[in-house]
Amino acid sequence: MVKIKREKGAKSPFSQIRKEILLLKKVIITILIGILVIGAVVAAVIVVNRNSQQEETGLTTIQLNEVTRSVFYSPQYVAIANRIF
C-alpha cells in the first residue's frame, strides 16, 4: 500500500472529482425533469385537441381491451352480442 503524504488542511485529490460528479448528477436530473415536463405539456395539448375534435362529431370512440376470457365477463359478452356496445 502506498501512503501519500500531504499537508494538513490540504484537500483530497478526489474532492474535486466528487464535486464534478455531483454537479454532473444535478445537471442530468435537471435535464430529465425538463424532458418530463415538456412531455407532459405535449401530452396535455394532444388530449385537449382530441377532445375538441370529438366534441365536433358528437361521437365518442371506446376501445375495449380484453385480458382474458372468464365467466365473470359473461354480462359483457351478452351486451356485445346484443350490440349494446
Which pLDDT tens digit goes with each residue over 21-79? Answer: 999 999 999 999 999 999 999 999 988 887 666 556 667 777 777 666 777 778 888 88
The answer to the question of residue 72 being in a domain is no
Number of domain units in the chain: 1
Grid coordinates 385480458 are at which residue? Answer: 67
The answer to the question of residue 6 being in a domain is no
Grid coordinates 407532459 are at which residue? Answer: 40
The answer to the question of residue 78 being in a domain is no
Residues contacting 76, CB < 8 A, separation 6+: 85
Domain that holds residue 17: 13-58
Q: 76, exposed or middle or buried, with CB in 10 Å at 0-12, 13-18, 19+?
A: middle
Angle of CA points 22, 25, 30, to nearest 5°: 130
58 φ/ψ angles, rounded to the nearest 5 degrees: 85, -5
Residue 29 pLDDT = 96
